[in-house]
Amino acid sequence: MQVTVEEFGDIGKRLTLVGKLDIVGAQTLELPMATLSGSRCNVVVDMIGVDFIASIGIRHLVLAAKALARSSCKLVLLNPSPLVTGVLVTTGLEDLLPIVRSDDEARAALAPAGSH
Amino acid sequence: MRVDEVTASPEKRTFGVSVNDVTAIDSWVEGVTRRLGVSEQTAFRTRLCIAELATNVLEHGTCRAENDHIVISIDSVGDGIKVEFLDTRRQFDPTANTPVPPFGDPLNGGGRGLLLLHAYADKMKYADDGTYNRLKFEIALAD
């Protein structure tokens, strides 16, 4: 699993994942995700390069989303593949881990309530 | 990782119980599904179910044997893939309960792997023979 972090405009960070979000991928993700969770900023997790996901990977995303929510920040998942989307939907976590399909959708999802 | 045996049909292999083994299991399953020529979706579901079982053994299983290991066999059947997953840890029946969302506290992550297993695997049958937890299941062929 390759993990890169960059700015996502002026509203948060983009965390780009490439590879398998399995037990090893989850370990790789742990530190950067913990750092972002503590940074009190919105996070867009770019999932287009994730070709496999298991529950242990989902657990790390859930933990990050919960931590960010405590700081009134949000986490969204950008463009997971159909197979990965199927797994995420099956777990019933769409509310906690909303899926968006474009940068524009991500911006809209992360915008403060009431803003345009 | 230990690799004790490899056979042709069904394909069968023995692994240890470690993070490296869980990774090796997935690579092996990926190769088997490729050789069987199944669709990407069928391969993905097979990999996912086996990864969840192997991770569960590693994270939650309690040793009951010195030679702790996992044995997996995979074969093609008429309308799907047949899997037998054996592990030497303490008795645990993943078919005993069917988790349904929403379930538990999302913080603890409990049950999500079993939920996926129940969602994607068919015809699950469990037995404990005193040495192994033996789980058989099938993954239906998908386009």
Tell me the pLDDT tens digit for each residue of B56-98. Answer: 999 887 777 678 999 999 999 888 999 999 999 988 899 987 6
A-interface mutation test, from B25, B112, B114, most A Cβ less than 10 A away: B112
CB A11 within 8 A of CB A107: yes
CB A50 within 8 A of CB A80: yes
CA distance linking residue A38 with residue B3, whole number of Å: 42
If one counts the domains in chain B, the total is 1
Q: Residues in chain B whose beta carbon is closer than 8 A to a beta carbon of chain A?
A: 19, 22-23, 26, 40-41, 44, 47-48, 51-52, 55, 58-59, 101-103, 106-107, 109, 112-113, 115-116, 119-120
Q: Classify residue B4: in a domain, yes or no.
A: no
Q: Classify residue B51: in a domain, yes or no.
A: yes
Closest CA to A103 of A3, A16, A2, A40: A16
Min Cα separation A92/chain B (Å): 6
CA distance linking residue A59 with residue B17, whole number of Å: 21
pLDDT of residue A114: 60
CA distance linking residue A4 with residue A44, whole number of Å: 12
Asked if pLDDT for residue A115 goes beyond 90, the answer is: no
CB B138 within 8 A of CB B77: yes
Closest CA to B56 of A92, A23, A21: A23
Q: If pLDDT is split at 50, 70 and 90, which confidence band does A86 have?
A: very high
Asked if pLDDT for residue B115 goes beyond 50, the answer is: yes
* Domain coordinates in residue numbering, chain A: 2-110
Give chain A's radius of gyration (CA, Å). 13
Give the CATH number, domain containing residue B61: 3.30.565.10
CA distance linking residue A86 with residue A89, whole number of Å: 5
Asked if the ipTM is above 0.85, the reply is: yes
State pTM to two decimals.
Answer: 0.89
Min Cα separation A14/chain B (Å): 23
Asked if pLDDT for residue A79 goes beyond 90, the answer is: yes
Q: Which CATH class is domain A2-110?
A: alpha beta
Q: Classify residue B69: in a domain, yes or no.
A: yes
Residue where the block lists tokens 């050789």: B35
Closest Cβ–Cβ partner in A59, A83, A91 for B44:
A83
Q: Classify residue B1: in a domain, yes or no.
A: no
Cα angle A19, B108, B116 (rounded to 5 degrees) comes to 55
Q: Which residue range is the domain that position B67 belongs to? A: 11-140
